[in-house]
Amino acid sequence: MSLKISSFEEYQSEYNRSINNPNEFWAEKAKHFYWREQWDSVLEWDFKEPNVKWFVNGKLNITENCLDRHLETIGGKVAIIWEPNNPNEEVVKLTYRQLHEQVCKFANVLKNNGAKKGDRICIYMPMVPELAIATLACARIGAIHSVVFAGFSAKALAERINDATCNIILTSDEGYRGSKTIAIKSIVDEALESCDSIQKSIVLKRTGGDVSMQPKRDVWLHEEMLKVDETCNAEEMDAEDELFVLYTSGSTGKPKGIVHTTGGYMVYTAYSFQNVFQYSNDEVYWCTADIGWITGHSYIVYGPLLSGATTLMFEGVPTYPDAGRFWEIVDKHQVNIFYTAPTAIRALEACDIDFVNKHSLSSLKVLGSVGEPINEEAWEWYHKNIGKEKCPIVDTWWQTETGGIMISPLAGITKLKPSFATLPLPGIQPCLVDSDGNEIEGNDVEGNLCVKFPWPSMLRTIYGEHERCKQTYFSTYKGKYFTGDGCKRDENGMYRITGRVDDVINVSGHRMGTAEVEDALDQHIDVVESAVVGYPHDIKGQGIYAYVICVKEVNEDELRKELLEIVTKEIGPIAKPDKIQIVKGLPKTRSGKIMRRILRKIAEGDTSNLGDISTLLDPDIVKEIQKGAENI
Ligand code: WT7
């Protein structure tokens, strides 16, 4: 099945066609897949509600498209290459036939343990093949998977399990990450103390470490796998049946369970995968993300498998056993397409160049970047040292909510411009709007990035909170989906994402709500109030800067230590502030609103122009905070 565009002229004509006649365009793409029953109409939509339906009344199962469909043609092709954390441990390679068998067996295990179509199943696992298998097994039986990144704390995990009332959790004893062993099951045990909905936990033996198994509730995956056979008919799903929930942070409130459905997500992830990366038959593709994020869902599991690709999964971290690990893996598995995040590039750029130069990297053809704006310096380093100036870099802009890549070069087809995501994919209609909500036409302009027409893999709702979905994404600018990002369009119509315009920060490619971190800090008994902002960080892109007001004089070092512990417990280590400043007060307007603009400036170390501070309740506090910041 090829959905590939092969020249820039073709891109332009396909783009125009997708705008002038989206129904015809997407119907044609969807016909490449296996549907049990055809759709009645391609698209029904209303951004006011929002109510969006693609391939209305079409019936399918996405795993038949990822697996069964390939058996006859490429059953013996490697679907998943798994590279373990420890380079001396054995690599696992699963052909499409083997993966199909594993998924069917796992699906039968789920059924034996009471899983049914429509159930929500939480997956909290390290990056092992069973994580991909578990995800597909859920889809096979029509259960909605909710993968939670295994770096989240017990508290954060429990919150997500409860929000979606999951009845089963799939997990492992422990996990390996670099030189550390992570006590996955005991985090789950702690979480489950406050999760009444969970009936079963199915546990993979990964390390063989000691774990406690609760009789009746906890079962071992390897024991369950012995009880089942390898045939499992796929459940017939409606195109709009929910495929998964994935939690992400917003500027306010608790994390949102972004809901994606089956048909449109399938068509768009495969279409975008093939076009952006220009994947061809025998290539090895590696995306370094974790399946716990949307990048892993769409571009480790679904997009590649739908396309019959060989997708590599890596269990470990870029710096273990040393900073050459990524490059060693590229050579070892002859990786052709390599997709990673700017934060990883910057971290490796900071290490000795010998870690790169020890390896040939001659198999590489295409490089990708995702998760945050890539600065020009990192782009150039990546291009020169990893791509040897011969590999196009696709800077892919998208979001958990968009399900798939929205703005990106097509490798080898679109002209590149460092730090620009360049042009929208066919079917994507981005626009820039000013603060009054008027669309800004023409080129060489800047505004808030919106999308004005539906695309197949867009979110359908926030789990259990449809009104919040409407408020967050479809109310700021009437009739448009608002991304939360600022964006420039240059004189040639190329897009450059400038970063979030809301109170969301992006730390090492991980999205975080400043409010979430504040809520965690405020749990400390000595903290009265806190304000969190992002500031430029050489490696992480953005670092977390927290200002806290205390009830009394405190031992600052001790408080800092305790605050880091609290954040780790409430959210996870990824949310730990890089800097904590104890302040007497916060710059507030007379109506009590924190002036974050000022706090951001101070955190940046740029105090030359703080703007008008005369409207503040207590303008003197600014000087005091500024002075204190010098010692942080
Ligand atoms: C936010 C979405 C979608 C994959 C991973 C992140 C930022 C993402 C880029 C890029 C500039 C980018 C945006 C976006 N972002 N890719 N290529 N250039 N910014 O998904 O966690 O949902 O975060 O990441 O700010 O809104 P996410």
* pLDDT computed for residue 62 by the predictor: 99
CATH no. for residue 514? Answer: 3.30.300.30
What is the 400 CA–ligand 1 centroid distance (Å)? 8
What is the 277 CA–ligand 1 centroid distance (Å)? 18
Q: What is the arithmetic mean of pLDDT over 320-342?
A: 98
Q: What is the arithmetic mean of pLDDT over 616-623?
A: 90
Does 459 lie in the same domain as 529? no
Among 485, 495, 514, name the best residue to mutate to test ligand 1's pocket (greatest count of ligand atoms within 8 A of Cβ). 485
Does 479 lie in the same domain as 522? no
Does 236 lie in the same domain as 271? yes
Nearest one of 236, 254, 260, 497 to 372, comparing CA atoms? 497
What is the 397 CA–ligand 1 centroid distance (Å)? 6
Residue 502 lies in a domain: no
Atom index in ligand 1 nearest the CA of residue 401 equals: 22
DSSP summary character for residue 143: P
Q: Is the pLDDT of residue 1 over 80?
A: no
Q: Is the pLDDT of residue 537 over 90?
A: yes
Q: Is the pLDDT of residue 343 over 90?
A: yes
What is the 624 CA–ligand 1 centroid distance (Å)? 35
Atom index in ligand 1 nearest the CA of residue 395 equals: 17
Q: What is the arithmetic mean of pLDDT over 484-502?
A: 97
Which residue has a Cα nearest atom 1 of ligand 1? 399
Distance (Å, whole) CA 19 – CA 46? 17
| Site residues for ligand 1, CB cut-off 6 Å | 248, 294-295, 370-373, 395-400, 421, 483-485, 497, 500, 506, 511
Does 259 lie in the same domain as 133? yes
Of 487, 520, 536, the domain-final residue:
487
Going by pLDDT thresholds of 50, 70 and 90, the confidence category of residue 217 is very high
Going by pLDDT thresholds of 50, 70 and 90, the confidence category of residue 357 is very high
Does 315 lie in the same domain as 284? yes
Does 341 lie in the same domain as 276? yes
Does 574 lie in the same domain as 620? yes
Among 148, 269, 370, 394, name the best residue to mutate to test ligand 1's pocket (greatest count of ligand atoms within 8 A of Cβ). 370
* pLDDT computed for residue 584 by the predictor: 95
What is the 497 CA–ligand 1 centroid distance (Å)? 9
Atom index in ligand 1 nearest the CA of residue 289 equals: 5
Atom index in ligand 1 nearest the CA of residue 511 equals: 21
* pLDDT computed for residue 628 by the predictor: 94
Distance (Å, whole) CA 192 – CA 144? 19
Q: What is the arithmetic mean of pLDDT over 305-316?
A: 98
Going by pLDDT thresholds of 50, 70 and 90, the confidence category of residue 607 is confident
Q: What is the arithmetic mean of pLDDT over 223-237?
A: 98
Q: pLDDT above 90 covers what percent of the chain?
A: 95
Does 139 lie in the same domain as 91? yes
pLDDT: which is higher, 7 or 614 = 7
What is the 30 CA–ligand 1 centroid distance (Å)? 26
Residue 497 lies in a domain: no
What is the 506 CA–ligand 1 centroid distance (Å)? 8
Among 370, 398, 420, name the best residue to mutate to test ligand 1's pocket (greatest count of ligand atoms within 8 A of Cβ). 398
Among 258, 290, 298, 511, name the best residue to mutate to test ligand 1's pocket (greatest count of ligand atoms within 8 A of Cβ). 511
What is the 405 CA–ligand 1 centroid distance (Å)? 10
Residue 499 lies in a domain: no
Given a contact cutoff of 8 angstroms between Cβ atoms, the answer to whether 579 and 564 are in contact is no
Q: Is the pLDDT of residue 253 over 90?
A: no
Which residue has a Cα nearest atom 7 of ligand 1? 372
DSSP summary character for residue 544: E
* pLDDT computed for residue 618 by the predictor: 87
Which residue has a Cα nearest atom 3 of ligand 1? 399
Does 531 lie in the same domain as 454? no
Which residue has a Cα nearest atom 19 of ligand 1? 372
Q: What is the mean pLDDT of the chain?
A: 97
Does 212 lie in the same domain as 88? yes
Residue 62 lies in a domain: yes
CB atoms within 10 A of CB 563: 24
**Cα torsion 503, 504, 506, 507: sign:** positive
Among 258, 287, 299, 506, name the best residue to mutate to test ligand 1's pocket (greatest count of ligand atoms within 8 A of Cβ). 506
Q: What is the arithmetic mean of pLDDT over 174-181?
A: 98
Atom index in ligand 1 nearest the CA of residue 402 equals: 3
Atom index in ligand 1 nearest the CA of residue 408 equals: 17
Sheet of 218-220: strands edge to edge? 218-220, 200-204, 168-172, 120-124, 144-147, 242-248, 256-261, 461-462
What is the 34 CA–ligand 1 centroid distance (Å)? 31
pLDDT tens-digit readout, 49-78:
999 999 999 999 999 999 999 999 999 999
Q: What is the arithmetic mean of pLDDT over 130-153?
A: 98
Hey, is 607 helix, strand or coil?
coil
Q: What is the arithmetic mean of pLDDT over 3-32?
A: 98
Of 487, 522, 537, the domain-final residue:
487
Among 397, 487, 496, name the best residue to mutate to test ligand 1's pocket (greatest count of ligand atoms within 8 A of Cβ). 397
Going by pLDDT thresholds of 50, 70 and 90, the confidence category of residue 252 is confident
Nearest one of 497, 472, 287 to 397, comparing CA atoms? 497
pLDDT tens-digit readout, 411-435:
999 999 999 999 999 999 999 999 9
- Whether the full predicted model's pTM is greater than 0.95, yes or no, is yes
Q: Is the pLDDT of residue 229 over 80?
A: yes
Hey, is 632 helix, strand or coil?
coil
Of 434, 456, 487, the domain-final residue:
487
Given a contact cutoff of 8 angstroms between Cβ atoms, the answer to whether 123 and 208 are in contact is no
Residue 547 lies in a domain: yes
Which residue has a Cα nearest atom 6 of ligand 1? 371
Q: What six digits make up the tokens of 120?
A: 């929500």
* pLDDT computed for residue 363 by the predictor: 98
* pLDDT computed for residue 18 by the predictor: 98
Q: How far is CA 561 from CA 524, 556, 623, in A?
A: 11, 9, 26
Residue 155 lies in a domain: yes
Total structural domains within the chain = 2
Hey, is 480 helix, strand or coil?
coil
H or E stretch covering 18:
helix 8-20
Residue 493 lies in a domain: no
* pLDDT computed for residue 617 by the predictor: 86
Which residue range is the domain that position 280 belongs to? 8-487
CATH no. for residue 324? Answer: 3.40.50.12780
Nearest one of 315, 370, 366 to 340, comparing CA atoms? 370
pLDDT tens-digit readout, 556-600:
999 999 999 999 999 999 999 999 999 999 999 888 889 999 999
Does 236 lie in the same domain as 150? yes
What is the 368 CA–ligand 1 centroid distance (Å)? 13
Does 513 lie in the same domain as 483? no
H or E stretch covering 258:
strand 256-261
Residues ≥6 apart with Cβ < 8 Å to 276: 368, 394, 396, 405, 408, 409, 410, 411, 425
What is the 396 CA–ligand 1 centroid distance (Å)? 8
Residue 494 lies in a domain: no
